[in-house]
Amino acid sequence: MEEKNSTTQVSRGRGKRLGVLIGGSGLIGGTMAHYFKTKTADEIEIRAPSSKKLSIRNAEDIKTYLIRVRPDFVINSSVAALDSDAQLAYEVNYIGSVNLARACCALGIPYIHFSSAATLPNGEDLAEEDHLPLSASLNHYAKSKLMTERTLRYMGENQGLDYTIIRLAIVYGEHDHKIQGFHRLFFSIADEAMPFLITNREVKHSYTNSDKIPYFVHHVLDNREEFSRQTYHFVDRDPVYMADLILTIRSYLELKRPREIYMPYPVIRAGKFFLQWLASILNWFGISVRLPPELIFLENFYKSQTLSSRKLRQSSFVDPFPDETIYTALPRLVVYYLERWGHLNLITTFNEEFLGRFEQEEIFMHNPQELVNVVHRDCVEPFPEMVGLRESDASGT
């Protein structure tokens, strides 16, 4: 295979590589944007356009933006919401991803695409070659992600697309501004909304550390000959028993719930159907109720799915944090999310412990004019260290 990462070919004479990151506002995209900004600023520059600048639902947007920017690679971590309708899942997860690939193929640049364990069946030690059969019965999310994987492989074989598919399992990490995936489970425990264990003793899953993802993407970009037209499971080496993880989180939070009572799946499924029925009834009265989108994966709470990391470990990539797992990350995740959710008034139980006391709280609540007077007296002068910049700009120096 022809070498794809020589400085002359990759940087197009710019001195450093320029990449376009789609989905930069999410947990995965945001983590990558921060990494490339802080760790590789002298080597790689990243553009992360908002959907207003580049909507991947619009092929003309893709072509116009990439022709103007002329990137050296594209990373796609965007995804429609789990419970999106058929049109949005098709346009964002499938056609949008394919059109990005078509543009990369035309420009002759690498395309890094993030996929999901939703494309895999249940089971243990699943390999990269495993996948679900493409069928109408799949939910929109899994169907669209599976369709994308198939088309990228087809384009690699027939159009010469230089792609890498990175399949993720259950992702954990800080700075996720949405309550979804693992963080939905964590929130339910912290909010004491889970009275019993919604799983059984034997269920285990694979997990993906979001902080490690950028290091792998960087390595993949630097070693195209090895990673081109390949699929990799990017997961922690050891899977985790779901019940044990729930009870460990409960222990960290010093809560009494959920109790160690395992609710059978038929009971939980009946509860799901009841909630869906109740939500539809409330909609008749103009009360909009949105159930957690993770309910589409409720059955997975009772079935194991573990992804093999053998191919990843046998590659040239070296894990930057080999000892870090979901368990070692829990202490900082607990502090970060309880503080965040406390500030948003989503959970009040832990506010005093994790947020501390807001010194001006009583004055802000009962006498805001006093705070205004203090600010007007002491805190409205222009920052002196910045005034000199204005004066130098005015003089042209």
Closest CA to 201 of 240, 241, 257, 248: 241
Closest CA to 143 of 170, 115, 169, 171: 115
Q: In the prediction, which pLDDT does 180 show?
A: 67
pTM: 0.83
Compute the C-alpha angle 235/168/212, nearest 5°. 55
Closest CA to 165 of 138, 146, 181, 139: 146
Compute the C-alpha angle 151/155/156, nearest 5°. 115
Peptide bond before 258: cis, by omega within 30 degrees of 0?
A: yes
Q: In the prediction, which pLDDT does 1 show?
A: 38
Q: HEC profile for 373-395?
A: HHHHHHCCCCCHHHHHHHHHHHH
Tokens of 245: 């993880």
Task: Give the C-alpha separation, 213 to 103, whole Å.
Answer: 24
- Any bridge partners for residue 165, and if so which? 113, 231
* CATH number listed for the domain at residues 1-169+206-236+311-322: 3.40.50.720
Rounded to whole angstroms, what are the CA distances from 292 to 136, 178, 185, 268? 23, 11, 11, 14
Domain with CATH 3.40.50.720 in the chain: 1-169+206-236+311-322
pLDDT tens digits in sequence order for the chain, 397 residues long: 344 444 334 456 567 899 999 998 888 999 999 999 999 878 999 999 988 888 999 999 999 999 999 999 999 999 888 778 889 999 999 999 999 999 999 999 999 999 999 999 999 999 999 999 999 999 999 999 999 999 999 999 999 999 999 999 999 988 766 766 777 888 888 887 788 888 889 999 999 999 999 999 999 999 999 999 999 999 999 999 999 999 998 888 888 888 888 887 777 777 767 666 677 776 776 776 665 656 666 677 889 999 999 999 999 999 999 999 999 998 888 887 887 777 777 776 665 555 555 566 677 777 788 778 877 887 777 777 777 776 666 666 5
Task: Give the C-alpha separation, 86 to 84, whole Å.
Answer: 7
Q: In the prediction, which pLDDT does 163 show?
A: 97
Question: Residues 32, 35, 37, 41: what is their CA dihedral angle, to the nearest 10 degrees?
Answer: -120
